[in-house]
Copies of this chain bind each other. A is one copy, B any other.
Amino acid sequence: MDTPLPDYLTEVLDTCGGDDGGELAAYIPELAEADPDRLALALCMLDGVVYAVGDTDARFSIQSISKPFAYALALADHGLDAVVEKVGVEPSGEAFNEISLEVGSGRPFNPMINAGAITVHSLLDDERVRAGFSAFAGRDLEVDEEILGSELETADRNYAIAYMLRNHGVIDADPRAAVAGYVRQCSYLVGVEDLAVMAATLANGGVQPVTGERVVERWVARQALSVMTTCGMYDAAGDWFTSVGIPAKSGVSGGLIGALPGKGGFSAFSPRLDGHGNSVRGVQVFERLSSDMGMHVLETPPPARPPLREHASVPQACALDGTQEGSLYEIQGSVDFVAMEQLLRELDRDPPPEVGNVVLDLTHVHEVRDVGRRMLLEGARRLDLDGHHVSFVDPEGMLRAFSDDDPDGDGTIDVGDGTEVPVVRSR
């Protein structure tokens, strides 16, 4: 059987490819002379598989799509507070190349506008950017020196911004060097597969899904995605969020990325731009993907199954040695806040028979979130306090109770106040 994904993506491209509206960016020859009909789309799953269709061999400069990745690198190197002190996180409601500095402080509104991006770049150096971007992409990226040269010739607005930033004490660096570095950052050549993988790294909490390298910490990825959500599409942020709902970033060369946390990274490429500077066909591709796939981050999922399987809690042989009866709770689905709230409520409403074995079986659990784990352990602690003999069955080690020394062996887990609860691989 052939997986239908490539067929689907090709169909999306065909649907969107007919629109020849929009205009090529004209300010440098390299962009003005791009083939306006090129169109490509890629998708990187979080286990590292990449689908790509259309003009997948097209190479183009990354431009503003570099912004969230440079922001992530700066966060990683300097910490949240140091970066937020320099660059805010508020949407400015203005076009990308507005100066948009906060009154008084002169702090750029956010890292997705040029003023913020230049400031962010000033916290990095060229080699850090090259190495970092390459880590996000999983291959050595290279600068297109011709584009870099052309852009530097028409970088007056960016020079203006950089001088204004130094005027406000936001950057210390030589403004011309700051712009040169920033423009270099924008001149890395990429294709849609690179962009999809880079986006997927953010969607994957900072771990590059192909190489498996942790490029940035989880909080860094979330911060970058948050700012992409509110500021990534400039003055169309609200329109984008209501209709597409995927943290995204576009570039003037026609690229567009989207990163859906826990799901995957997306990218599109088509050089003709709309009035906001976003790729006309790229936007259509994303609208189609979001609509087809239900990928708006606020999309309400249908009600999940209850956290306890039907036959749970029936008294049965459930001691670890199989000899004693007790209550078995087979948990299913996600161990998250919502599920554990229900489980704990159920245990409150209909507690297990007083004094006896209680087995909490995670065999059918799908994922364990931090808050869910804490709540589950608290439940175990309370059951223990009530006099039960509690144990966990955790075939896949989701409770992180098994030591590295003895990964297969049985373990215990501290559920609070020093109470240790046994954990076994299987009933």
Contact = CB atoms under 8 A, between A and B. Distances in A.
Contacts of A293: 337, 371
B157 A225 contact: no
B300 A218 contact: yes
Given A91-B91, A347-B1, A46 B227 contact: no
Size class of the contact patch on chain A: 35 or more
A302 interface: yes
A364 B304 CA distance: 12
Interface in A107-121: 109-110
Given A46-B338, A305-B367, A91 B89 contact: no
B4 A294 contact: no
Interface string A173-193: 001000000000000000000
Given A293-B337, A300-B261, A304-B367, A230 B221 contact: no
A325 to B, nearest CB: 19
A96 interface: no
Interface in A322-370: 332-334, 336-338, 341-342, 344-345, 347-348, 351, 364-370
A45 B66 CA distance: 40
A301 to B, nearest CB: 5
A152 to B, nearest CB: 12
Contact of A300 (B157, B175, B205): B205
A62 interface: no
A366 B305 contact: yes
Contacts of A225: 298
Interface of A: 1-5, 45-47, 49, 88-93, 99, 109-110, 156-157, 159-164, 166-167, 175, 203-205, 218, 221-223, 225-227, 229-231, 235-239, 241-242, 245, 247, 261-264, 292-305, 332-334, 336-338, 341-342, 344-345, 347-348, 351, 364-371, 375, 378-379, 382-383, 386, 396
8 contacts: A89-B241, A110-B238, A156-B175, A226-B242, A226-B296, A230-B238, A261-B301, A293-B337
Given A49-B341, A159-B163, 10 more contacts: A3-B347, A5-B345, A47-B342, A99-B99, A156-B164, A156-B166, A229-B230, A261-B301, A302-B369, A364-B364
Please list the 7 inter-chain residue pairs (A to B) with the smallest Cβ-Cβ separation, ordered nearest first. A160-B163, A156-B167, A90-B238, A205-B300, A160-B164, A89-B238, A333-B366
